[in-house]
Structures are given as structure tokens and as C-alpha cells.
Amino acid sequence: MRLKSFKVIITFSFIILIVGLGYTQIFQGEYYQQLSVSNCIRVVPVHSNRGRILDRNGIALADTLAAFDVLVIPQELQDRDELFSFLGSVLGFGQGRIDAIYQRKRTASFAPVVIAEDVPREKAIILEENKFRFPGLLVQVRSRRHYPFGEAGAHVLGYVAKMSQERIERLKEYGYTIDGVMGYSGIEEQYDQMLRGVNGGLQIEVNNRGQQVRVLGMKVAHPGEDVMTTLDARIQQIAQTLMREQRGVIIVMNLDDGAILGMVSAPSFDPNDFASEAASNNRVRYFTDTRAPLFNRAIRGQYPPGSVFKIPVAIAGLYTKKINPHTTFVCHGSYTLGNRAFRCSHTHGAQDFTQGLGHSCNVYFFNTGLIIGPKLMEEYARLFGLGVFIKIDLPYEERGHVPHPDGFRARRWSKGDTLNFSIGQGDLLVTPIQIVNMIATVARDGRQIQPYIAQSIGAHAQPQGQVARVIHLPKNILDQVKEGLRAAVAGEGGTARAVFMKDLLVLGKTGTAQSSGNQEHHAWFVGYCPSAKTRIAFCVFLEYGGSSYNACRVSAQLLKEMKALEIL
């Protein structure tokens, strides 16, 4: 019967268990007894080195350096005064101050107290050499994140900090531990898994004096991988300098493959401040500053696009044949609807399509908007990636908002709403990255490119130059629109004359968007250089920057400096 074989197998297994018990408890019992009595197993973590973040030319944007911390273990302390006076003389503090730090931070007798962080290497070596004289003194090497370019491009890079409780809970399964640090925002967060590597450690047996007797087990730490970005450190610095006194965004993208060459959001922060204990005041300032320096306006800031939105409106009008290149509207300086006047910037007089776009005539687009209707404008806005996640490889991107005339929540959609919509005002909100994406789609004749920032992780190249979507638009329509964009920069009375350069073809569109309240207007310039050495699309956005003229001036400066560096 088959149950017999059950009995045999079970009996055999139980014999093995008893033999196993005998072996562990009797044969090896003495050894394990020793281990347990002396409580002499220590686990020493070995942290992996975090991978670097590089720019497109291999220049480090984020690096890991060794930092030396000075600690004191209370229970091993013998001559406190002597140690503290020695520490004081090496570190250059008064003995009283060291005593004060020690008193303030001391918790338990076995818990090391941090006396000084990030001590210069020479001083660390002096301390290390004298360690034998002072029991209880400890110099610990810690890896510290360093960002050589400081504020420039801080939002794209992110920063590294201790993990919050909530993240520990969420990420425990993925091998994250409480004592670890992790990337917050930007590349540091997006590619944290690859950057961080795998921590290792040693399990050692120590004797009663705390000295290592043998290694029971060891796990090798695997360093993290380097992330090479598409950013150009030079462009980042130019953009950061231009935006120093401003609030806003500069984005520069390669037209051919969607690589982000530059992305700066201002005001910025210094990510190095998150790596050192000493800069905690700065951190508090970042979190409380009402100008929100930690906020990446390039992908998270949502603003009305103003006249920049005239580009999709123009395309919608031409494509549906509701207007044609010769359609002319007369501008008297405003458009009257009921008893309300919707103003234009100037009295432009008769305007054809190219003039209307080049002069950014509101009246021209009020008329166009009324002819094509709000639903079509909504459709084209979405077609060009507004109100849609761009899915760039950075965390916490916002989607913006395109109003939905059919299901308008606040009230019934009115003609006034249509007028506002047609010049990019009202409920329409976009992010700067969406606007760059939009102009790039026009420049690329409808072949929408996927913007990206990481070009390779370790030895693995990331997908690049991917066409996200193809919008089929007749060439003559796009040529008409491009003609208008050229006229804005190069044409007589063009709104973006300030960007005109003799030796560089620039096409683009300005935007001056009303902000809420009595604040200054937002200023936009979005454009592209189709025949430069590196073909780029770019956007300059100044939050509360006043007239679009200011954005044009910044753009001109940006292009000039890039030209001087022979990037363009």
C-alpha cells in the first residue's frame, strides 16, 4: 500500500531532523554557546557608492565625495577634558563649544555623538593618527553628494536626503533601509534605483574588547550606475545666469531627437545644502520661501500661455479651411462683444494671416476663434500636447488644463470664454515643457518627438529620438504658420524683433499672459532654430515678467551666448 512509503519518508525525515538537532546542539553547541554568551556579532554596513549624474560631454553634474565626520562614543570616553581640548585645537573650535555640542547631542552612552561633520581631509588624518591616544574618538568616512554647479539645473538633478517614514514604508520591499538616503525630485528620484546601487555589509565576530576576530559573512556592495543626461553644463550655466534675478523657466531641446539640452527653473536652490547638516537653515528657507525655489516650474508650473496659443488656433483654422492665408480681418484696437470690449495690443488695421500671427493681433484671433468654435480649439490644443502629460523622465510632471467647453463646470460656456480661449487666456493652463513640445511639433511638421533627459544608464543607452505621435498636417498649412512665426521675429513690426539675429534663423512666437490678481503679466517666448548647427527648440518663460519683450531679450541673450560657444 502506498501509505507505507509515506511512513518511510516521514520517518527518514524525522531522523534527519533529530540528527540535525544533535549536530547543532551537541556537536557544535559549545561554539554557538560562545557566540551567544559574548553577544559578539556585529553587523557593519558597507554603503554602496551612488552613481554620478553626467552632462552630455561627461562633465559631472552630481558626484559623490568622501566626507569625514568626527564622533565621540560616550561609554568609551576616558579623559573627556583632554580629548575635547585636543579636538578643539585641531578643529579650531573652543573647548567650550565642543563641550556644548556634546552635551546637547548626547543621548545614550553607547550612541556615538557627532561633534563635527565634513571635516577637511588633513584634519581628519590628524585625528585618525591620534585616535589611539583617545579612546572613544571616532572618525567616520561617509559619502556625501556634491553638485559642482550648485544652483544651475538643480531642479533637473534633484537632491539626496534621508528617507522619510512614509517612503521607508512604501519602499521596504525594494531593499531600502531606514539609515539610507535616497533621491528626491529630478533625476536623483527618477533613476534612484539605478543610481543607488546595492549596499553591502560585513557580519563580524568581535571579542569582548570590540576587536574583530573573524568575518562570519560578507556581502559586497555594488556601486550605483552613472546616469548620463542630455544636458549641456554650459547651457545650464548660461541659462542660470540669465535667470538669476528672475522667476521663470528656460528650456532648450534638440529638435532632432527630443534631447533636453538645458532646463532651468528659477528661483533655484543649492542641492548641496541637503547633503550637509550645517546648511539646515538654508533648507528651512527653501521650504518656507513663498517664491517656492524647490518647485520645478519647467514641468510643474501651470500658466496661461497667452498668445503662444495662437499657433494651434491658427493651424485649426487653416486645416478646417474656415480661414485661409488670405483671410483678412480689420483690427480697430479692440473687439466688442455685447457691452464688453476685448482689447488688442495695438490698432493693427487690416491684417492677413501672416501679419495676424507675426503681429500677434488679438482681433484677428478673436475672429478666427469665433469662426472655428471652442470645441475645435480644445481638440487642437490636446492634439499638440497641451493638457496631456508629456511623460518626460522626471517625476511629478503636471498636466496643465485645457477647458472643456461642453462640460464646463463653473458656468455655461459663453462667447466671451471663446474669445479668451482663442488668445490663450481664461481657464487654459500649460506647462513650459508642453509649450516647447508644441513648437517642436510644428517645426518637425507634425512628428511629435518624445522629450527625454537620460541618454544612458551605466552602459545601457536609453531610447532616444522616439516619435511619440504623428499629426498629419498638409505641408502648405505648416509653411503658412512657419511664415507667420518667421514674421514675428524677422518681419516688420514683428512682436519678437528683439530676437532677430543676422546670422541665425529664428522662428517663434511671443506671449504676454494675464496673471490672476493685479500682478505683472507673464512673459513668453517660444521658438526654434531650424538651420543651426544643433537644431533646437526653446522656450523662455518669465513668471510675472511683464511684457513679452523681456522674454525676447533673454532669448536673444541665450541664443547669442550659445552661438558664441559654437553650440548653434
Partner 1 sequence: MLSDLKKAMWVSLMIIIVSGLLALFSASFQNSRVTQEVFYNQLVFSILGVVAIFFLGRVDHRRYYDLAYIAYGINVFLLVAIFLFGYYALGAKRWIEIFGFNFQPSEFMKLSLILALARYYTDHKPKVSFYNPWSRPAIVSDFFIPFAMTAAPAILIFKQPDLGTAILLVGIFFVMAFAAGVSTKHLGGFLGVCLLAMPILWHMMKPYQKDRLLVFLNPNVDPLGAGYTIIQSKIAIGSGQIFGKGWLSGTQNQLNFLPERHTDFIFSVIGEEWGFVGSVIVVVCFYLLILSGLRAVEQTKEKFSHLAGAGIVAIFALQVIINIGMVLGLCPIVGITLPFVSYGRSSFLVCILMFGFLLSLARQRKMF
Smallest distance from the beta carbon of 198 to partner 1, in angstroms? 10
CA dihedral 417, 420, 421, 426 (to 10 degrees): -80
The residues pairing with 510 across neighbouring beta strands, listed in sequence order, are 525
Tell me how far apart the alpha carbons of residues 79 and 101 are, in angstroms, rounded to a whole number.
Answer: 17
3-state secondary structure (DSSP) of residue 58: coil
Q: E strands along 344-415, which residues?
A: 349-351
Minimum separation from the CB atom of position 110 to partner 1 (A): 14
Report the nearest approach of partner 1 to the CB of residue 53 (Å).
Answer: 25
Q: Is 34 or 164 the residue whose CB approaches partner 1 more closely?
A: 34
* Cβ distance to partner 1 smaller for residue 132 or 174: 174
Residues binding partner 1: number (CB under 8 A): 42
Stretch that binds partner 1, among 14-22, 64-72, 135-143, 308-316 (CB under 8 A): 14-22
Of 11-19, 48-56, 72-80, 424-432, the segment contacting partner 1 by CB under 8 A is 11-19
Nearest CB to partner 1, comparing residues 21 and 565: 21
Q: Provide the strand spans (E) within 23-72.
A: 41-46, 53-54, 60-72
- Dig out the grid coordinates for 330 from the structure: 480689420
Q: What is the footprint of partner 1 within residues 18-77 (CB under 8 A)? A: 18, 20-22, 24-26, 28-33, 35-37, 39, 41, 43, 45
| Distance in Å, CB of 36 to partner 1, minimum | 4
CB of 457 to partner 1, least distance (A): 19
Query: Do 325 and 480 contact (CB within 8 A), yes or no?
Result: yes
Listed residue (59, 244, 251) closest to 147, CA to CA: 59
The residue range among 6-14, 89-97, 328-336, 404-412 that interacts with partner 1, by the rule CB under 8 A, is 6-14
Give 337's strand partners: 340
Our finding on whether 17 is near partner 1 (CB under 8 A) is yes
Nearer to partner 1, 170 or 391 (CB): 170
Exactly one of 8, 10, 66, 111 binds partner 1 (CB under 8 A); that residue is 10
d(CA 161, CA 154): 14
Q: How far is CA 317 from the centre of its chain?
A: 36
Question: Does the protein bind partner 1 through residue 16 (CB under 8 A)?
Answer: yes
Tell me if 466 contacts partner 1 by CB under 8 A: no
d(CA 419, CA 362): 9
- Report the relative pairing of strands 53-54 and 212-219 from DSSP bridges: unpaired
Sheet holding 212-219, edge to edge: 41-46, 200-206, 212-219
Residues 203-262 that bind partner 1 (CB under 8 A): 203, 216-219
The pairing of beta strand 454-457 with beta strand 227-229: antiparallel
Q: What residue ranges bind partner 1 (CB under 8 A)? A: 1-3, 6-7, 10-11, 13-14, 16-18, 20-22, 24-26, 28-33, 35-37, 39, 41, 43, 45, 172-175, 201-203, 216-219
